[in-house]
Structures are given as structure tokens and as C-alpha cells.
Amino acid sequence: PQGRVRVDMPGGIAHALILSQLAQFQARFPDIYLMIGINDCQVDLIQDGVDCVIRTGRLHDSTLVARHLGELRWITCATPSYLNQQGIPKNLKDLQFHRAVHYFANTTRRTGELHFVEAGEKVVVPVTGTVAANETGLYIKLGLAGGGLMQLAEILVVDHLRTGDLVEVLADVRPEPVPVSLIYPHHRFLSPAMRAFAD
């Protein structure tokens, strides 16, 4: 396979998953030129000339072809210094005494919520905060700076969890896993290069 493939994805996915596989992909397919766009906001595949996107979350656009790639396990975490100061939340009621680093995207205005699954039921808890970000790298840095609780895919902070820079809390009520999908337009012919990347 040869040719150019333009793919767009969230920054966290690119850094945590794609980057580690890139050398192997390039060794196997040296004639494929990858254009990797990093964007936590959704792009318009047709208007922006993108061949495919990797997206997390539930999909709403039925005019696109979606290929399920897997799921990301989400966790709630914070720095030890924040938890020493505010206390470790033992249950969802304890969240009234906490603050969170908020994340916002173009598709939603509700930034001050954390999501959980308790006794099989989805629970949304409003948590106060003083800062919000719309880019994963900045979001993580704000949390590492002691900004409060964060909720994100475990793979994005696995190294920080391993070193103890971040600590998971409320593990018994983790949010439901978030699906990851590869998406491309119906009408676009899947070139061999695009198919190789998708596989």
C-alpha cells in the first residue's frame, strides 16, 4: 500500500496509543505517508479533507461508517497533595467537599460534572471547580498541579499512577468504559493505504 492518509484524533489517543505503534507501522508500510492531526474537538471529515478520524464516546452521525476499535477504562484521580488537603472521597456524597478540573468540548456546555456507575446505575454528580480545559494534555497538567479531581481514560495517566504522582479514588464506582471508533465517510473509497491504517 502507498499514498497519503490524513487522520485526525484526540491528543491523548495519539500520545498514549498511536505513537508507540508508529515505528512498527512505518516499518511495515514505508510507502504510506501519514498526516496525523491532533484535535480534541471534532472535525468535519468532508470539509476538512480528512480521510478518517479516531473518536471516543458515543457516535451520533449515522452518515459515517464507524469501526469499533475498543474501549477505554475511565477513572477518577487526583494528586496525593490534593487528597491530603481535601481528604479522600469514600463515596459520591463526599464530592460536595471537593473540586474538579473541568473538561469542555465544543459539543457540550456542561463542564462541571463527574460521571459514575453505582449499583448498575449511571450517576452524574456536579462538582465545583475553578478551571476548565478543552485539550487533554493541559487538562492533565492542571490536575498534576493540584487543581482537583480529574476523570479521564486510565491509559492517559498510567505512568503517573505508577509513579504515585496521581492516585485513583472511587474505584468501586468507576464511570462506564468509553468506546473508541475509527470513522470515515460512506462515499469515500477505502484505498489500500487507508485500509492498512484502519487494520
Q: How confident is the model at residue 188 (pLDDT cuts 50, 70, 90)?
A: low
Cα angle 124-178-140, degrees, rounded to a multiple of 5: 80
CB–CB of 173/92 below 8 Å?
yes
Give the Å distances, CA to CA, from 175 to 6, 34, 115. 32, 33, 6
- Residue 103 CA, distance from chain mean position: 11
HEC readout, 70-139: EEECEEEEECHHHHHHHCCCCCHHHHHHCEECEECECCECCCCEEEEEECCEEEEEECECCCEECCHHHH
With CA atoms as reference, report the closest residue to 50 among 5, 95, 84, 81: 5
With CA atoms as reference, report the closest residue to 178 among 146, 144, 155: 155
Q: Give the least confident one: 106-110, 144-148, 173-177, 190-194.
A: 106-110
Query: What are the tens digits of pLDDT across the range 28-70?
Result: 999 999 999 988 777 777 778 889 999 888 877 667 888 999 9
Query: What are the tens digits of pLDDT across the range 103-150?
Result: 987 655 567 899 999 999 999 999 999 999 988 899 999 999 999 999
Query: What are the tens digits of pLDDT across the range 51-61?
Result: 999 988 887 76
Query: What are the tens digits of pLDDT across the range 95-105?
Result: 999 999 999 87
In the predicted model, what is the mean pLDDT of the chain?
91
User: And the C-alpha cell for 73?
Assistant: 477504562
In terms of C-beta density within 10 A (0-12 exposed, 13-18 middle, 19 or more buried), how is residue 28 classed?
A: exposed
The pLDDT of residue 61 is 66
